[in-house]
Amino acid sequence: MAWDSSRPVNYRRLLKEWAIYAAIMMAIALVLLRGRNPAGLIAGVVLSLPLYVGFSAAMAKLGYQRKTLSEMRTPRASSASTSSGTSSPAAAGRAQVKPTKRTNASTRRR
């Protein structure tokens, strides 16, 4: 895919995802670094903002668009209901195989 400057970038979503990441990382690190100076941790998490948003925006301009959780759940539900009722299209289009000695499909047993 080529760079397309007209592709939209959802910066609000990127900032929201980064804020969730930053909150989780800060909570975990503050629990693990009890009693130590958290200045380096805070600086590292804050410096990750331009990196995350920059790389994500570049990927969006190149055409990458990650699915949301609701978009990922929708195909599963629809495919599960169709596959349980009918067989797959590939199996439906196959011809019946003629039984042979090797397939053990004959009716008489020796």
DSSP string, 2-43: ---TTS---HHHHHHHHHHHHHHHHHHHHHHTTTS-THHHHH
Crossing angle of helices 39-61 and 11-32, rounded to 10°: 150
Q: What is the pLDDT of residue 54?
A: 95
Domain residue spans of the chain:
7-64
Q: What is the pLDDT of residue 105?
A: 60
pLDDT in tens, 65-95: 888 778 888 865 555 555 555 555 555 667 7
Find, among 50, 70, 54, the residue nearest to 62 by Cα.
Answer: 54
